[in-house]
Structure 1
Amino acid sequence: MDFAFTEEQEQFADAIRRFLMTEMTPELTRELWHSDSGRSDALWRQLADQGLTAVLVPLEHGGLGLTEAEWVLLAQECGYFALPEPLLDTALVAAGLLRSGVAAAPRAAARDRCATLLDRIAGGSARVAVAHPQETLVADAHVADAILCEHGGAVHLLLPAQAGLTPRASLDPSRRLFELAWTPGPATVLIPAHAAAGMWDGALDRGALGVAAQLLGLTQRMLDLAIDYSAQRKQFGKAIGAYQAVKHLLADVAIQLEFAKPVLYRAAASLAQGLPQAGLHVSHARVAAARCAWMAARQAMQVHGAMGYTWELDLQIFMKRAWALAGSWGDRAFHKARVGAHILDGGQEIGAGATFA
């Protein structure tokens, strides 16, 4: 399998990195923490203008017609800058569900509703939240123009007036989570269960892939902050980064990051190509990325010493996001169980010679 990125894919990611470097600053993050919604309509409009809301939307619906392979690079950049907007839930998970719905919905009216929402997502005029059965709380339901829900295997579409929202606290002030109360009925059914087979599994894989990519972006940001601090902070007349103990802490994170990247990229390629083992690859990436981010948070905090956990430092923004995402779209136990089932059921060859079998 070739999962190397093309020059165009890398240029797209570079353009998004430059945009977020200018617009998504720690100062804006803190400002949004104190706003009612925690979200910026102006920033969402800018994200749409950059084409980020249209990445997974097919060309015939005003999108770019790209795949998860492009999204994995973009999601890493979103993680690096701790983007608070519900971009991945809308433009990756919801867009993927709706794209499948256009093809799978048995009724023309349902296909039209999916197509209309895809058009609006591509144009940046709609945020769509996803209430997956794996998630007990729904992120950003308070700013959603529509919510896709699961009941009995079917896909239901709720408008804001049809849902009761109860806010729940999060470790990360940027994450706005809600408990959803709603009543399923014939009027809310978008795609019946018999036509929605596999769609919720695909949504879980895309959500977990997006989280894994963000975790690696967060890892890189925490590593960069720790390196910068170790070069500036001095003890006994020289920078603490000159000491072997500090170097080893940061080197451990860098090594874990480099080992996790190809695992993530293989998962993205598997999803983009629709391979039967995509779920296994996504869970492997999710476990590797979570481990990497946890180590980065721990080592970066230690490098910063007693200042590491304080509110004033930017580091706490990225640590809290990494900790909060660790349980999103399936926790560590869930994804380890998925990997374990594939390895231990006797159907998988193991060993170096079977890596690309």
Structure 2
Amino acid sequence: MDFTFSEEQIAFRDSVSRFLMTEAAPELLREIWETESGRSPELWTKIAEQGLMGLSVPEAEGGMGMSDIDWALLQQEVGYYSLPDSLTDTAYVAAGMLSALPQGHVLRSEWLPKISEGSCRVAVGHPVNLHVADAALADLLLLPHVTSAGVELHVLKPGQCQITELKSFDASRRLCRVQWTASDATRVLDAVQGQKVWDLAGERGALCAAAQLLGLAQRMLDLSVDYVAQRKQFDKAIGSFQAVQHHLADIVTKIEFAKPVLYRAFYAIQHGEADLAVRISHAKLQCSEAGWFAARNSLQVHGAMGYTWEVDLQMFMKRAWTLDAAWGDKAYHSARLTTGLLRNPHPPVGPGATFDREIHSGCASQTTACKPIAEEMAA
């Protein structure tokens, strides 16, 4: 059975990588982050021209209507090149939330085409996040209102909120405190309907953060490999020292062990599996561990200079630290994983449970396995 990505998916990933290699080089990102907004309208326009903003927008609203799995490799590239948050929050999380509205809904008809063409930014304020990313730059805000019956979905314009920009040691993050008042005029979905939308949005946000952490880990590894090949001590490249090689080999192990967990979670979210929360929390924890471990070992081989502004490593290391707490920190996802495993009489652990359709989605046959990921693209 083939669980690898298709040639089309790999080609798509490679084309995005080549684009970002030129348009999101570290020296260009530094210039962008030192501006007042920390964002580049030119880069945003180029991203939209590549079609990336319309990946999750339904075809009826001018998008491509692609699946969750199609984001698996793309989100790793977003992390590898440390792109701003707006791409993920707008094109994937917010697009999914607006697509959940009924056909013909005024917000769906108005904003999904704008997202697809890249003419707007949407900020998402999920209950699990203390602050809202890019709220000060957003054209639209999707905000939660927690009630005893569930979480309502409210939609506001920036002028309807009090937005306070906050500082972050990660220059790529633009976090804000948003104060607003819930009303009938801003409510789009009630607590029952809204809860379902917010639950799925939280899973998508956590999964994107996990995938970006994996991409960041790979970038820090690549930077470290380049550095130890050039840095010399005792007239030898430090990469020839066994202790340094062990540091880098351990990063590779963490990354490779996290990949299948991440890809399995993307499959679970696309198919709405019953153990979705367990899969995504597992992926977030594994990828967070890979990100933290890569940052620690990369800093070890770079020395203290790796934390300075002039060295590229610090850009990706700081981003990994902040994403670790985004869309649920380690304590949150550890609690979800523990609860999900203990309350399930057939917990999804072990090789035999990886694609056990009877346990996870109630199919008749226990031996029925998933379609290869490569088939998802063709479907």
Q: TM-score, normalised by structure 1?
A: 0.95
1:313 partner letter: V
Task: Answer yes or no: is 1:256 the counterpart of 2:250.
Answer: no
Corresponding residue number in structure 2 for 1:20: 20
1:114 and 1:51, CA in 2 relative to 1: closer, same or farther beyond 3 A?
A: same
Corresponding residue number in structure 2 for 1:53: 53
SS in 2 for 1:102: coil
In 1, Cα distance between equivalents of 2:220 and 2:200: 30
- Displacement, 1:225? 0.4
- Displacement, 1:346? 4.4
Corresponding residue number in structure 1 for 2:353: 354
In 1, Cα distance between equivalents of 2:168 and 2:119: 27
8 A Cα contact 1:102 1:115, kept in partner: no
SS in 1 for 2:165: strand
In 2, Cα distance between equivalents of 1:102 and 1:36: 38
- Displacement, 1:133? 0.8
Q: Percent identity of the aligned residues?
A: 51
1:2 and 1:265, CA in 2 relative to 1: closer, same or farther beyond 3 A?
A: farther
In 1, Cα distance between equivalents of 2:200 and 2:46: 28
Corresponding residue number in structure 2 for 1:229: 227
8 A Cα contact 1:233 1:239, kept in partner: yes
Q: Where does 1:163-312 land on structure 2 (aligned, <5 Å)?
A: 163-312=161-310
Aligned residues: 351
8 A Cα contact 2:138 2:158, kept in partner: yes
- Displacement, 1:348? 3.0
1:197 and 1:33, CA in 2 relative to 1: closer, same or farther beyond 3 A?
A: closer
- Displacement, 1:356? 3.3
- Displacement, 1:353? 3.6
1:206 partner letter: R
TM-align CA RMSD: 1.4
In 2, Cα distance between equivalents of 1:116 and 1:231: 52
1:335 partner letter: H
- Displacement, 1:2? 6.6
Between 58-67 and 189-198, report the one with greater CA deviation.
Answer: 189-198
- Displacement, 1:23? 0.3
Corresponding residue number in structure 2 for 1:318: 316
- Displacement, 1:345? 2.0
- Displacement, 1:341? 0.7
Corresponding residue number in structure 2 for 1:328: 326
Per-residue CA shift, 1:307-338, capped at 9, x if unaligned?
22122101000000000111000001111111
In 2, Cα distance between equivalents of 1:42 and 1:61: 24
In 1, Cα distance between equivalents of 2:339 and 2:142: 29
8 A Cα contact 1:102 1:112, kept in partner: no
1:28 partner letter: L
Corresponding residue number in structure 1 for 2:65: 65
Per-residue CA shift, 1:2-39, capped at 9, x if unaligned?
75322111111111100000000111211122211111
- Displacement, 1:170? 1.2
8 A Cα contact 1:39 1:85, kept in partner: no
Q: Where does 1:81-120 land on structure 2 (aligned, <5 Å)?
A: 81-102=81-102, 111-120=105-114
1:346 and 1:194, CA in 2 relative to 1: closer, same or farther beyond 3 A?
A: closer
In 2, Cα distance between equivalents of 1:198 and 1:327: 23
1:332 partner letter: K
1:60 and 1:68, CA in 2 relative to 1: closer, same or farther beyond 3 A?
A: same
